[in-house]
Amino acid sequence: MQNRHISSYSSLENLSQAAARYVIQVAQEAIADHGRFTFSLSGGNTPKALYNLLASEPYTSQIDWNLVELFWSDERCVPPDSADSCYKMALDTLISKIPVPANQVHRMLAEQDNRDAASQAYTDEMHRVFKTSDVPEFDLILLGMGPEAHTASLFPHQPSLKENERLVMPVSVPKPPPARLTFTPPVLTAARHVLFLVTGQDKAEAVKEVIEGQHNPEEYPAQLVRPTQGEVTWLFDTAAASKLTHKF
């Protein structure tokens, strides 16, 4: 696959530094090309070190945060001050420390009782910001991957894997907290750049299947992320990459 790039690093710190350089490069190119940087964040533990770096020098001043629009690829259905909230994690590690305008931080209102309405509201928000009624083309979507190859909140054998109409939908997943909102495959596939950060020995088998195995996204949802026009970059730590036959 020509538009797939893979690297592995000896530590989370080295991986996160490479990720920060990549985010800055994509941001600068996007701003030079079309005047802003649309960036979708992920939750989980792995991106915390990246967010901390992006909020500190020498990284933070290399991005014009006034021209950044932040979104999320998935969110847990919890209040925004919950320890499980993807928004809170990014707020604590990044957003509270950078000069991004508040009206350019677009969180999923996943705590609302009506999750279909919250999903539609997020779709409407993307359409408004991207000035399109079509699928938005993010400059960069940051993703993680779980040990069962889920990404965003697209889990194995769930109907969300086949969703082609909705851009955001409610799901119930086998990892706590179960109720989530997630981007669907069309949004992930339309991105200009996708950056996966994957660490840990518990993910090594899934990494091997996703990268070197047969195409089987029902079993390995991260395989769905094959941007039609854009490029996908995988950054692994040594443990996550340990079962790959080819060494990167």
Cα–Cα distance for residue pair 113/108, rounded to 1 Å: 13
Query: Tokens for 13?
Result: 């710190």
Q: How far is the CB of 6 from ligand LXAUTJHC (least distance, A)?
A: 17
- Answer yes or no whether residue 201 interacts with ligand LXAUTJHC by CB under 6 A: no
Part of the chain binding ligand LXAUTJHC (CB under 6 A), chosen from 11-19, 62-70, 140-148, 216-224: 140-148
Give the count of residues interacting with ligand LXAUTJHC (CB under 6 A): 13
Backbone angles phi, psi at 91, to 5 degrees: -60, -50
Query: With helix as H, strand as E and coil as C, how does 81-121 read?
Result: CCCCCHHHHHHHHCHHHCCCCHHHECCCCCCCCCHHHHHHH
Report in angstroms how near the CB of residue 32 gets to ligand LXAUTJHC at its nearest: 29
Binding mask 21-60 for ligand LXAUTJHC (x = CB under 6 A): ---------------------xxxxx--------------
**Alpha-carbon gap, residue 48 to 156, rounded angstroms:** 25
Q: In the complex, what is the shortest distance from the CB of residue 30 to ligand LXAUTJHC, in angstroms, rounded to a whole number?
A: 22
Query: Which residue, 46 or 123, is less far from ligand LXAUTJHC as judged by CB?
Result: 46
Select the residue whose beta carbon is closest to ligand LXAUTJHC and give its number: 44
CA 158 to chain centre: 19
**How far apart are CB 93 and ligand LXAUTJHC at their closest, in Å?**
13
Task: Choose the stretch contacting ligand LXAUTJHC; rule: CB under 6 A; options: 90-98, 142-150, 187-195, 208-216.
Answer: 142-150
Q: Which residues of the chain form contacts with ligand LXAUTJHC (CB under 6 A)?
A: 42-46, 74, 86, 143-144, 146, 152-153, 175
